[in-house]
Amino acid sequence: MDETRKNNQIPQTKAAVKKTNYKSYFPFFIFISAMAFIIAKDVPIPTVIMLPVGGVGLLALGLGSFFNPELSLLILVAYVPFSKILIGRFDAQITGLNLTNVLIFIVTLGWLANCYNTRKKIFTKSSLNLVVLLFCLWGFFSLMMARFLYGEFYDLESFFILFKRWVTPIFLYFIGLNMVKNRETFKKVMFVAMFSTFIIALMAIRDYMNVGGGSLEESRVGGVFEQPNMLGAFFVYNMFFFLSFFLYYYRSLKYWLLLIPFLACLRGIMVTFSRGAYLAFGAGGIMTTFFRSKVLFIIAMFLFMASLINPIYLPQGMRERLASTFGGEKVMSTNVEDITDKSAGNRIIIWKGAIEMIKAKPMFGFGYGTFPYIIGYFIPAMKDVDAHNTYLIIAAEMGIPALLIFLLILFMLIKNAVWLLKRTKERYFKAFAVGILGNIFGLLLANMFGSRLNSEEVSSYFWIYAGLIMAAVNMKKKGEIN
């Protein structure tokens, strides 16, 4: 009897799940809501208040990060998507002195101090580390190469600022990987990111309600990113966590509430009237169901095909926006540029020019940030324009090897997310893996129609999630999660 009772007991392991303390989330709920209120109501903050309060707060946060680095990390995660509007320059005209950089500096100090206090290595091992580092170094090489090739015509200071905005979110991968060492911190980072996404969706819906009448272009909402396509991409990069957690916890009634932020994000995409975001949402949703359940995948594919065959099932605004891509009247033409609207037609022309740029310098490209200035030599009618395609602009500016490195990063993220999905027995981490897979496939398609990874505000969460994937894989390998 004693032997049987002993065998039936569940052993206590270091992977035992602790009950979540939701009270610790409340300050971040207030912080994020306060930022949203300030932006929505355009509340002015006098300098005489902002400087002393902000200075004292950051000083306290900096000192506290030596003992509790988690707090500064969570504040950074909460703040970064709002940073385009709430810049936080502290009334200083010093380049680079803003709240984003200050918070990253504080978080980095906390990371290093924690390593010193715990006598642990600064960098956590990961199969992705060298690839991400190589991508950053290749970008820096491209920057310096352009300066060497073009001399004074290439304003190094201006382009370095652009490069910094590109590389800063990538640095957050290392912060996420090295500072998230346990499930409690992991869940807090996820909560803050998901709640911020929900609030931004509500703000977008509110903005659309206040737009009033006007043309379709005037009705497009840019939200906290002040650009509709960027806002749509942000939702695609983040929204499928709501769906994946619902699909894994749907038996619990309270998790049905996750459909509210998911639908809010969907509505947020709709009010951007971004065709690329529409298609990316479809890709992300289909792949989320694919990794969760093949039955759900078949249903999702059926709905997707039905909406393509008969767009009447789509909401009117979405249907009209997609229909505007091609002329409503019958057009006798074999040239795709001739039968698309001006926006889509111009993109096709730009893409052809980008391909010619890649052919001209396939190995190292024309240099970081040079696409708008070089494209005019290949397509004279298109000067000072964006590539509207992340993959083409990487290859044109930094060479085909840089593009291959970037695609390798995405492949390794997908591979590790699938590994985590198959190995872990915990629903939470299964839901995380499925959600990030949906987000990544949405990102893959979204960046076919625009350069959506060169903005700190939009892409930071993606790189933080990348760090979380590798952190979760490490925790699983160490037996810290089941």
pLDDT digits (tens, 9 = 90+) for 139-163: 999 999 999 988 888 888 888 989 9
Residue that wins the pLDDT comparison between 345 and 225: 225
Residue 96 gets the label, from left (phi > 0), alpha (psi -120 to 50) or beta, of left
pLDDT at site 441: 96
Please state the rounded mean pLDDT for residues 211-239: 86
User: Looking at the predicted structure, is the pLDDT value of residue 27 above 60?
Assistant: yes
Picking from 393, 322, 315, 324, the residue whose alpha carbon sits closest to that of residue 358 is 393
pLDDT at site 15: 53
Length of the chain, in residues: 482
Kindly give the residue spans of alpha helices, DSSP state H, lying in 310-426: 316-323, 342-360, 371-378, 390-398, 400-423
Least confident of 27-31, 210-214, 343-347: 210-214
pLDDT at site 323: 64
State pLDDT tens for residues 321-356: 666 665 444 443 444 444 345 667 788 899 999 999
- End-to-end alpha-carbon separation of the chain, Å? 29
Token match 């951007």: residue?
Answer: 272
Please state the rounded mean pLDDT for residues 367-386: 88
Please state the rounded mean pLDDT for residues 60-70: 84
> Whole-model pTM?
0.89
pLDDT at site 11: 42
CA 315 to CA 301: how far, in whole Å?
A: 18
Please state the rounded mean pLDDT for residues 278-286: 93
